[in-house]
Amino acid sequence: MLDNGIKAIYITLSAENDRLIVRPQEISLNEVFNCGDKKPQDLYFSFESVYAPYQQYSFDPIDGIDLVVKDTEGNYLSPLEVKLTVIPTSQTSVLPEEKWGSEIVVRSATTSYCALGMFDSIKEHSREIREIFEEACSSIQMWDNDYEMTHKMPALCQAIDNFQLKYYTNQKPLLMQTLWKTQGQSPILAEQAFDIVIWSDYAFSRLFLDNSALPAETMRRGMRASARLARCLWELSKSGKIRVVDIYRQMAFGNQTDKEFAVGGSLWRKYVTTDRIQNLALNKNVVNQIIEPGYIDRLMPERRFDQTLYFTMRNNN
């Protein structure tokens, strides 16, 4: 898509009458990779690596992210979480095609990069950021106390909303969701089979922020992610450096610390509202341009995507 100038779907956050709205646009892969007019051969893709420019914001070592884009001279360009996902899910496959959706399972590393990236883009506004979060955050005695945090969530979410209303124009790509589409629940690719959905850091955060202010008796996963984001931004605004690992380990609330939350297909489709989902950008035959002859037979059929490629290509021959 980069080589052929094909834009990706871009899920962004905007505001209308002081109300935050998630909207689909399009974005070039040059913008996603933050690489200017560089060609693919000028880029270096480092998988499961640490995006070193963000290390300055943490006393402890930060986690790696799925993809770190650099140029061939070693300059850091962009950190991206990558999700290889199928459409439709089993739950949405029984619905009309225009309602088909995809699932995303999110790691805590993604939400920590979300927080670090947001601060990195507007770090020169630390005083203003602190003023936004001070009232909601300074009164919290124990960030890992379930009872206290469930009652403080409305104030924390309002602070994040105020922050995003002021700074959403600084959003940037965070998550690259690579889509492959099948003919319903069959293992055969659809005719228009591939596309990319890019989520900005601000739009991505709405997946866990929306509904986190609703009353609850105990901290849900989305509420936990929201509280962590608020704490990271507040503490970064005060000192410019935090203990990221400690924040994410301490604020577990009895849940796994590696898995942050999951988004089902129907909820995903409420955010990804573009009609392009019904007619993805790339035809299934693009596989022949990407995978060299003979290599399809080496794929592992127990992996669903490998299985789909294997059977689709066999059926075409």
Average pLDDT of every residue of the chain: 93
pLDDT band per the 50, 70, 90 thresholds, residue 298: confident
What confidence score (pLDDT) does residue 259 get?
Answer: 77
- Residue pair 90/185 in contact (Cβ under 8 Å)? The answer is yes
Would you say residue 86 has pLDDT above 80?
yes
What confidence score (pLDDT) does residue 302 get?
Answer: 54
What confidence score (pLDDT) does residue 33 get?
Answer: 98
Residues 6 or more apart in contact with residue 109 via CB below 8 angstroms: 63, 64, 65, 81
Q: For the residues 178-191, what does the mean pLDDT come to? A: 92
DSSP sequence for 131-153: HHHHHHHHT-S-TT-HHHHHHHH
Q: For the residues 133-149, what does the mean pLDDT come to? A: 96
What confidence score (pLDDT) does residue 72 get?
Answer: 97
Would you say residue 258 has pLDDT above 80?
no
Would you say residue 182 has pLDDT above 60?
yes
Q: For the residues 74-103, what does the mean pLDDT come to? A: 95
Q: For the residues 141-148, what does the mean pLDDT come to? A: 95
Would you say residue 230 has pLDDT above 70?
yes
What confidence score (pLDDT) does residue 106 get?
Answer: 93
pLDDT band per the 50, 70, 90 thresholds, residue 176: very high
Distance CA 201, CA 114 (A): 5
Distance CA 88, CA 108 (A): 25
Would you say residue 226 has pLDDT above 70?
yes
- Residue pair 84/197 in contact (Cβ under 8 Å)? The answer is no
What confidence score (pLDDT) does residue 308 get?
Answer: 84
Q: For the residues 199-207, what does the mean pLDDT come to? A: 98
The CA-based dihedral angle spanning residues 174, 24, 207, 52, taken in that order and rounded to the nearest 10 degrees: 10
What confidence score (pLDDT) does residue 303 get?
Answer: 65
Q: For the residues 241-264, what does the mean pLDDT come to? A: 84
pTM for the full predicted model: 0.94
Q: For the residues 67-78, what does the mean pLDDT come to? A: 97
Q: For the residues 281-302, what does the mean pLDDT come to? A: 82
Would you say residue 117 has pLDDT above 90?
yes
Q: How many residues does the chain have?
A: 317
Domain layout of the chain by residue ranges: 8-316
pLDDT band per the 50, 70, 90 thresholds, residue 307: confident
Residues 156-174 have pLDDT tens digits of 999 999 999 999 999 999 9
Would you say residue 314 has pLDDT above 80?
no
Q: For the residues 66-76, what does the mean pLDDT come to? A: 97
pLDDT band per the 50, 70, 90 thresholds, residue 252: confident
Cis, bond preceding 293 (omega within 30 deg of 0): no
Q: For the residues 146-158, what does the mean pLDDT come to? A: 96
What confidence score (pLDDT) does residue 254 get?
Answer: 75
